[in-house]
Structure 1
């Protein structure tokens, strides 16, 4: 249908504080990386127009705070999401162990119509740090994703732009498929962007 309304895809990026959520988003949208660390307060978002299978869509990427004290903000930000990205640091075992709770929390707060088929993507970030510091193997992460119904998995480096573009291509495609599946349900609410000010320039790198 050429007369379709403009497509807005809402993507939520979750994970512990410091795993690189802001860095990944800035690398993808702005092609920039900064080594300074500034924790995200609440949530910020950036937008990027991308082509998905020859269709122009606007991705709205929400970068949420990893600190537990901000998780109560979840409902407003999670509702209407088309894809959820779970990020951990391959050099930090705890950040991997909490992926399950982030995923569960998202499903509770976002209340998607079909939780079983809702698209998630897992990113193992900071592969540039080096194999000697790595604590979570590719095999373990892949097994986790397969156990959740075959979640797409990418190993990334926001610093060196490794797999960032490829990962977000899959994220965009899965988000678009989810958005289109909602078109069959006229009762599904529209996503209303919330203006929460400028994206901070710090990063969780």
Structure 2
């Protein structure tokens, strides 16, 4: 599991004469490019904050390496340093595909990072040999993996059938339905967050990296019918254009997602709609929804309701406003999808 979830750990220090420098890394075979990139980017981020050291964990991407990382910034008193302060970073690297796992469970990892921070401060203040610190980092690595393994076990063992409220299990027919939902929209609008909020599946996903697709399943009982909801969260980057259209095939329903704080993502919805209709025009039973996400950021909204109403009316699509952060209307969206699907089902 470690090889799949965690790429490596790098401990970086800011030296006045050398700049950012990787002092320790694990595992030992972690290549130099990754180690150097981890240090330069994490320290640059700290420099951009003009010396302010964030208390919380920070996520940063490494697109060229297809990695992401959680950063813990550490400072301690050191009279030999400029400003009497020593600065370092702990960089936990993982593959891009696994980011939803770490986003979902980052709170479960905070205490382990805090334990390591205490060890690092003791080490740096005492100016001990680096071998003493290596023991702490290996222990940190093992604790992170143990927590993730336990979280995975809980998720996998969770009940497969999660009915909507007020559904009785005793009265459903043996009829099974498979509903394919494709979720589309510009990068960064919160498609993956919406799917994760509903399915609660950080580990139980299938990823197809060549086209940037996350596939999740949700089994549920709704209106006396068993439904397997297959959700295809399709990457919005232009590099996936040629592949994406093949995965529209067989869709029963589509959801077009935009960011309420990003006007461009709303303006692009018509392009996404036309793309679907171009390749699925023979599917007469296809239906869809528009989702305006990030409703929790009300003070930052840049899309006017009159424009949303006009577009939904022109396209004949139902509209929902959601927040993947708070969960607002997430359940309602998927309930409506199931209701409409069953109404069209033979």
Q: TM-score range by the shorter chain?
A: 0.7 to 0.9
Contact 1:158 1:164 in 2 (8 A): yes
The aligned length equals: 169
User: Could you tell me which residue of structure 1 aligns to residue 290 of structure 2?
Assistant: 122
In structure 2, what is the Cα distance between the partners aligned to 1:173 and 1:82? Answer: 13
Match of 2:215, SS state, is strand
Give ranges in structure 1 of 5+ residues lacking alignment.
33-38, 184-205
| Contact 1:40–1:65 (8 Å) recurs in 2 | no
Counterparts of 2:210 and 2:289 in 1: how far apart (Å)? 21
Question: Retained in 1: the 8 A contact 2:174–2:225?
Answer: no
Question: 2:336 aligned with 1:166, yes or no?
Answer: no
The Cα shift of 1:154 comes to: 0.6
**C-alpha deviation, 1:41, in angstroms:** 5.5
* Displacement of 1:134: 0.7
Q: Structure 1 segments of 4 or more deviating over 4 A? A: none
> Equivalences for 1:1-205 in 2 at 5 Å?
2=173, 4=175, 6-30=176-200, 42-114=212-284, 118-130=286-298, 132-149=299-316, 151-178=317-344, 180=345
Q: Which has the larger radius of gyration?
A: 2
After superposition, the C-alpha distances for 1:18-57 in whole angstroms (9 at most, x for unaligned) are 000000000000088xxxxxx9962111000123322110
The verdict on how the C-alpha distance between 1:3 and 1:54 changes in structure 2, with shifts beyond 3 A counting, is closer
Pair 1:51–1:107, CA change in 2 (3 A): same
TM-superposed deviation, 1:160: 0.6
What's 2:54 paired with? none
**What is the rounded CA distance, in whole Å, between the counterparts of 2:304 and 2:201 in structure 1?**
27
1:69-116 deviation line (CA, Å, top 9, x unaligned)? 1121123211010000000001101000010110110112234332xx
Distance 1:113 1:160 in 2: 35
- Secondary structure of the residue aligned to 2:247 is helix
Of Structure 1 and Structure 2, the greater helix share is in: 2
SS of the residue corresponding to residue 187 of structure 2 reads coil
